[in-house]
């Protein structure tokens, strides 16, 4: 059974999950990725994903931006896989008919 916290994230923050899905769309979900956020003080879905525990790693301040190597947590990988599955089912010909 899905954890209540993950259920809430799926329901109220699909923007975070879809962003993570796009960032890792062609890569292995277990591989870390380098990030560079141009403005440290700007709102960011990546920073929200870190706060929610869907990403792990550290962003460091460099020249007004944030730079770091981040990876999906087990929860992040789970939610990304679930969203990919749901999108495949929704786009299948049987569902469209």
Q: Is residue 67 part of a domain?
A: yes
| CATH (domain of 49) | 1.10.10
Could you list the residue range(s) of the whole structural domain that residue 52 is in? 4-90
Identify the pLDDT of residue 42. Answer: 86
Q: Which residue has the higher pLDDT, 75 or 28?
A: 75
Q: Is residue 97 part of a domain?
A: no
How many distinct structural domains can be found in the chain? 1
Distance CA 37, CA 15 (A): 17
Q: Which one, of 63, 78, 24, 27, lies nearest residue 46 by Cα?
A: 24
Mean pLDDT over all residues of the chain?
A: 89
Q: Is residue 96 part of a domain?
A: no
Q: Is residue 95 part of a domain?
A: no
Q: Is residue 80 part of a domain?
A: yes
pTM reported for the whole predicted model: 0.84
Q: Is residue 69 part of a domain?
A: yes
Q: Is residue 58 part of a domain?
A: yes
């Amino acid at each position: 059974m899905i954890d209540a916290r993950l259920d809430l994230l799926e329901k109220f923050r699909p923007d975070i999950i879809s962003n993570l899905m796009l960032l890792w769309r062609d890569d292995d979900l277990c591989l870390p990725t380098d990030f560079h956020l141009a403005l440290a003080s700007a709102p960011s879905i990546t920073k929200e994903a870190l706060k929610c525990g869907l990403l792990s790693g550290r962003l460091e301040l460099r020249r007004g931006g944030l730079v770091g190597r981040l990876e999906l947590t087990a929860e992040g990988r789970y939610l990304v896989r679930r969203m990919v599955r749901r999108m495949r089912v929704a786009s299948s010909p049987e569902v469209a008919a």
